[in-house]
């Protein structure tokens, strides 16, 4: 019996979900991660703790949902609500397109609010194999598929080796940026992003 | 007044240090990381909590010291006590040497006890900028210098571009392995290690 409680109930439920996810992101951005508790999220969202536990089994599950919603643009500022906006630009110049995208990723990591959220998420994923699998399935793999579509078009245009391992290509491009960010091993500059693009393109030149 | 308390005191202190570091590694390998407390370490090592706090300010500092000691072989099984054993093999064949080393790294990550310790350390580093800087200075950079010595010998032998960015080369080689391991995104196979070596060598071919 779907909607047995009527459209008002559904709207209230959705509003409370949005409030919880927004409260989670705000707290993660403001507080040391160990201080972000389900209690604190509930207080900030103005709901009871049980409202959160009815939907998510743990703090890590709420944090993951908060991040997923942001990436999907479902309740992020100024984004559409119809799924991940992940299509890569295709100007016909693979190098230029990748530099644009990788520079944007580097800037995103350098944003303090985003930094806190991704560190929290990375910590949870690193220590929770179930969440890691969910992250791969719901977030990493769809993003990678979108990127590989752009790489296949470059292969068709003769800008990338026809037999290039596209997963490996993406690892070469993104993993060094991720590691440098996670370990705070160096600055996340446009120059570094460009150098990664150039090296990956050389490794898989036609 | 060094050794004012005599050599017996020094020996006892060193034995207690070793016991604390061994207890830390054992606990990290056995317990979920949030259950590894300074109290639990002290109990396992048979020392008082204050003995630990006199030397290290926090749990993260002890965990880092436990990892550092292991890497230095100072109290690891079957290793010498005279600093990190980090020199890379130099058979004259860069590709073969790198494949050997990267396959060994992949195997190390796949070892459950090492996996737990590195996940704990990575979690602490990700959330603590001071520890991240210490990690870079005491562990990552000395290792990278040792690896770069091998790469410079390859440059002299004409096996690597003379103007290759050696830091970037190492990032391309190791970061994808690290990310795949941290996110449990795929198996840490010899094939994957070999593919990384081949791609990095192509990116920086003479």
Q: What is the pLDDT of residues A114-145, one digit of tens each?
A: 888 889 889 889 888 888 999 999 889 988 99
For A33, name the nearest residue in chain B, comparing CA atoms only: B127
CB-based contact B185 A140, cutoff 8 Å: yes
- The 10 Å Cβ neighbour count of residue A13 is 13
Cβ contacts (< 8 Å) between B178 and chain A: which residues? Answer: 175, 179
Q: Tell me the domain boundaries of chain A.
A: 6-72, 94-203
- Interface-testing mutation among B63, B110, B116, B126, with chain A (most A C-beta atoms within 10 A): B126
Its ipTM equals 0.85
A81 and B CB contact within 8 Å? no
| B107-144: pLDDT as tens digits | 999 888 788 888 988 988 988 888 899 999 988 998 89
Instruction: Report whether pLDDT(A80) > 70.
Output: no
B161 and A CB contact within 8 Å? no
**A residues 121-150 near B, CB within 8 Å?**
122-123, 125-127, 129, 132-133, 135-136, 140
> For A152-173, what is the mean pLDDT?
97
Q: For residue A198, give how far its alpha carbon lies from the nearest alpha carbon of chain B (Å).
A: 8
- Class of the CATH-defined domain B6-72: mainly alpha
A181 and B CB contact within 8 Å? no
User: How far apart (Å, rounded) are the C-alpha atoms in residues A113 and A197?
Assistant: 26
CB-based contact B178 A179, cutoff 8 Å: yes
> For B69-86, what is the mean pLDDT?
51
Chain-centroid distance of CA B143 in Å reads: 9
A110 and B CB contact within 8 Å? no
**DSSP state string for A130-156:** HHHHHHIIIIIHHHHHHHHHHHHHHHH
B6-72 and B94-203, same CATH topology: yes
- With respect to CATH, is domain B94-203 assigned 1.10.357.10? yes
CB-based contact A126 B182, cutoff 8 Å: yes
Q: For residue A125, give how far its alpha carbon lies from the nearest alpha carbon of chain B (Å).
A: 7
Instruction: Report whether pLDDT(A176) > 60.
Output: yes
Max mean pLDDT among A11-20, A152-161, B10-19 falls in: A152-161
Instruction: Note the pLDDT of residue B203.
Output: 98
- Interface-testing mutation among A63, A185, A201, with chain B (most B C-beta atoms within 10 A): A185
Q: For residue A6, give how far its alpha carbon lies from the nearest alpha carbon of chain B (Å).
A: 41
The beta-carbon neighbor of A33 closest among B122, B127, B174 is: B127
| A55-67: pLDDT as tens digits | 999 888 999 998 8
3-state helix, strand, coil in chain A (%, to 5): 70, 0, 30
Q: What is the DSSP letter of A88?
A: P
Q: For residue A152, give how far its alpha carbon lies from the nearest alpha carbon of chain B (Å).
A: 18
| A89-102: pLDDT as tens digits | 999 999 999 999 99
| A21-44: pLDDT as tens digits | 999 999 988 888 878 999 999 999
For A172, name the nearest residue in chain B, comparing CA atoms only: B172
Instruction: Note the pLDDT of residue B58.
Output: 87
A22-26, B26-30, B189-193: least confidently modelled range: B26-30
The beta-carbon neighbor of A202 closest among B178, B196, B203 is: B203
Q: How many CB pairs under 8 A join A and B?
A: 105
> For A75-89, what is the mean pLDDT?
51
Instruction: Note the pLDDT of residue B72.
Output: 66
The residue behind tokens 């058979």 is: B91
Instruction: Note the pLDDT of residue B76.
Output: 40
> For B87-91, what is the mean pLDDT?
88
Q: Residue B172: CB partners within 8 Å, gap ≥ 6?
A: A172, A176, A196, A199, A203, B196, B199, B200, B203
Please provide the average confidence, as pLDDT, over all residues in chain A: 88
Q: For residue B128, give how far its alpha carbon lies from the nearest alpha carbon of chain A (Å).
A: 10
Binning pLDDT at 50, 70 and 90, where does residue B86 land? low
CB-based contact A180 B180, cutoff 8 Å: no
Instruction: Note the pLDDT of residue A88.
Output: 85
């Amino acid at each position: 019996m779907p909607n047995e409680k009527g459209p008002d109930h559904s709207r209230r439920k959705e509003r409370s979900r949005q409030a919880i996810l927004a409260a989670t992101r705000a707290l993660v951005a403001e507080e040391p991660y160990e201080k972000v508790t389900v209690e604190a999220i509930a207080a900030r969202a103005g709901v009871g703790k049980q409202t959160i536990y009815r939907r998510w089994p743990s703090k890590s599950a709420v944090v993951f949902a908060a991040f997923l919603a942001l990436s999907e643009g479902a309740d992020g500022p100024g984004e559409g609500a119809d799924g991940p906006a992940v299509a890569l630009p295709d100007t016909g110049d693979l190098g230029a397109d990748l530099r644009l995208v990788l520079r944007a990723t580097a800037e995103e990591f350098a944003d303090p609010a985003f930094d806190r959220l991704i560190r929290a998420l990375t910590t949870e994923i690193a220590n929770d194999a179930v969440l890691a699998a969910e992250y791969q399935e719901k977030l990493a793999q769809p993003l990678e598929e979108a990127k590989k579509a752009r790489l296949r078009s470059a292969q068709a245009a003769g800008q990338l080796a026809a037999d290039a391992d596209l997963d490996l290509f993406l690892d070469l491009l993104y993993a060094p940026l991720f590691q440098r960010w996670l370990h705070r091993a160096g600055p996340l500059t446009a120059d570094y992003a460009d150098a990664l693009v150039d090296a990956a393109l050389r490794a898989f030149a036609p």
